[in-house]
Amino acid sequence: MMTEAYVLDKNRLGDLVEVLKVRGEVIAPTNTGIDILYMPVSSVSEIDLSKIPLDSPKEYVFPITETMMEVEGGEITPVLESWDRVLFGLRPCDVAAFRCMLRFFEDYADEKIPDPYFIEKMKKLTVVAYNCPEPKEHCFCAAMGTGPVAESGFDLALSDLGGYYLVEVGSVKGEEILGGLPLPKASQKDISEKEAVARRCSEKMKPGFAVQGIEDVIEQSIDAVAENHGGRCIVCGGCNFFCPTCTCYNVTDTIEGELVRRERYWDSCMLQGFTWLAGMGPERATLASRMKQRLMHKLSYTKEHYDAYSCTGCGRCSQVCPSYIFMEDMIRDILGGV
């Protein structure tokens, strides 16, 4: 089925950003001088779509630190912040990551206990995806089945077709947004051109593997792979903190005068303290045991729990790792039975 699709002149991208601003704060890839990051923008001139942002966009729905409740004078007050936000230029891998996090936080279990903090933020989110014309060094979304084109999970999706953008509608909200910006309809030729761009992008990625079925073979080689690669880990937690699907968090109470604030913040399964039991010590004391946990969770556990790998192939963990431990290498080794 073909979704509704339109074409947008490149010099009219600003018009799209303006109609999106009505929907909430616009977050988009911005060149900060250090790297391209997802940042709040006020105009199209701040947006840089030239490559996938270094940071994952998850902090806009799952903040690094977030207040859960406050207690004062014997009264508990739940705190649940959410914002009308537009994520503009979200890469297909990140769109897939949001879908993955949503399944997890909605709760895939029989007796559902949803996470209101995440879900309320997702509800208020508008997603404008940007299909990738070019892969970066560590990209392997094609092998994970999440890109380079977003198939669902967006309100609008842009594809760069040279002189203009193809704008595809993914939801009723997307259609409403375009109500404020009448555009000419796309032709079959535009759609074919988008597919050709995606094909070229996939071919350039050359991951040399397809991940489907990895859950059936991972047990055979996981211990050796975790030992070989995990042994180089310097325990910085960067892979988890840059991962667009990592959702583990810690909780702490802080005291300000009479006020107690309970906050949650990102945690990392690669850190030794992650499984530290008071009076007992860490459950996973070795680097290899923690790498095994990370790989099994990404490539097997979530596949079993809610039928999705929680690695999207975005390549950020590989890019930021100071020890050059590359996810794509570990997957290749698992599949190769090393």
Partner 1 sequence: MKRNEYIPYMATIKEISEQTSDIKSFVLEFDDPELRERWTFKPGQFVEVSAFGHGEVPISIASSPTRKGEIELVIRNSGSVTAAFHEMKAGDKVGLRGPYGNWWPFEETKGKKVTIVAGGIGLAAVTNILRYMLDNPSDYENVQLLYGARDQDLLVFTSEYEKWRQMGADVHITCDRRAGDWSGNVGMVTCFFNDTPSPELEKVEIPEDATLIVCGPPIMIHFCCLDLLKAGFKPENIYVSLEGHMKCGVGKCGHCNVGHKYVCKDGPVFTYAEKLALEG
Nearest-CA neighbor of 138 among 270, 242, 233, 60?
Answer: 242
> Which distant-in-sequence residues (6+ apart) come within 8 Å of 78 by Cβ?
68, 69
191 to 220, contacts with partner 1 by CB under 8 A? 219
Judge whether 47 and 29 are in contact, CB under 8 Å: yes
Q: Does 64 bind partner 1 (CB under 8 A)?
A: no
Name, in order, each residue with C-beta under 8 angstroms of 190's C-beta and a sequence gap of 6 or more.
Answer: 5, 7, 161, 166
Sole window of 5-13, 51-59, 111-119, 204-212 interacting with partner 1 (rule: CB under 8 A): 111-119
Which one of 46-54, 179-187, 276-284, 330-338 is the stretch in contact with partner 1 (CB under 8 A)? 276-284
Please, are residues 5 and 25 in contact by the beta-carbon 8 Å criterion?
no
With respect to partner 1, which residue has the nearer C-beta, 74 or 182?
74
What is the rounded distance in angstroms from the CA atom of residue 298 to the CA atom of residue 304? 11
Site residues (CB under 8 A) for partner 1, limited to 139-198: none
Q: What six digits make up the tokens of 171? A: 């939801």
Which segment (22-30, 105-113, 188-196, 315-323) binds partner 1 by CB under 8 A?
A: 105-113
Give 117 or 165: the residue with its C-beta nearer to partner 1. Answer: 117
Site for partner 1 (CB under 8 A): which residue of 69, 102, 181, 191?
Answer: 69
Per-residue contact flags (x/-) with partner 1 for residues 224 to 263, judged by CB under 8 A? -----------------------xxxxxxx-x----x-x-
DSSP 66-99: EEEEEEETTEEEE------EEEEEE-HHHHHHHH
189 neighbors 166 (Cβ within 8 angstroms): no
- If binding is defined by CB under 8 A, does position 264 make contact with partner 1? yes
- Residue 83: count of CB within 10 angstroms of its CB: 13
The nearer residue to partner 1, 105 or 309, going by C-beta atoms, is 105
> What is the residue whose two structure tokens read 């375009």?
178
Among 74, 162, 163, 182, the residue binding partner 1 under the rule CB under 8 A is: 74
| Per-residue mark of binding to partner 1, 278-307 (x: CB under 8 A) | xxx--x---------x--xx--xx--xx--
Point out which residues pair with 87 in neighbouring strands: 27, 127
Q: Does 68 bind partner 1 (CB under 8 A)?
A: yes
User: What are the residues binding partner 1 (CB under 8 A)?
Assistant: 68-69, 71, 74, 76, 78, 80, 104-105, 107, 109, 112-117, 219, 247-253, 255, 260, 262, 264, 267, 269, 274-280, 283, 293, 296-297, 300-301, 304-305
